[in-house]
Amino acid sequence: MPKTLTDLTTALLVALAAVTTVYFGGIAAETAVLYPNIFRDPPESLVAAREFLVAASPSSFFPPLGLTIIVAGAAAVLLTWRAPGVRWRIVAAAAVFLCCEFLFSAWFFWPRNTIMFVDPVGTHPDEYLRAVAAEFTAGHWVRVIGSAATAALVATGSLTWYRGRVLARASRVGAAGAA
């Protein structure tokens, strides 16, 4: 259990760095493993994906993890507010995540997910499904870049925080030794 606010901040930043890295890893794995199968030959591959992604799907994994990142990110912004070198990296990470992962997804991906995976099979013409799938895979790169940038910003912010703590401790030890 953290003893001080500094310890709490350190623990939160380590956890946030881990969660954003896992999120990025999930996006990267989805891109490399799932998407080539899901989007290989719409509409047949979309039907196969519906049949395969029954027990769990990306929508089972990313929303709860995304909410965790948003809540932890907001807490990290508050806890690092007095450390400008850290604060602006965490603020930027939160802004990138909100824009690229949440707002862009709600605006761009959710309607396309409905068309491809929720609407009954046969609702849309094959050519339309191919176009929607192509738009989806092209737009997906916004999420890949956004999740990579978020993870990188949180990692550099966390390392900057940690470096500041180490230097502060070293100066206290040095001052005590000089006395």
Domain that holds residue 152: 5-178
What's the number of CA atoms in the CB half-sphere (13 Å) around residue 61?
14
Q: Tens of pLDDT along the chain (179 residues)?
A: 678 999 999 999 999 999 999 999 999 999 999 999 999 999 999 999 999 999 999 989 999 999 999 999 999 999 999 999 999 999 999 999 999 999 999 999 999 999 999 999 999 999 999 999 999 999 999 999 999 999 999 999 999 999 999 998 888 887 777 66
Tokens of 65: 């993890």
* DSSP per residue, 79-130: HTTT-HHHHHHHHHHHHHIIIIIIIHIIIIIHHHHIIIIISPTTSS-HHHHH
How many angstroms separate the CA atoms of 97 and 45, rounded?
A: 30
Whether cis (ω within 30° of 0) applies to the bond prior to 42 is: no
Count of the separate structural domains present in the chain = 1
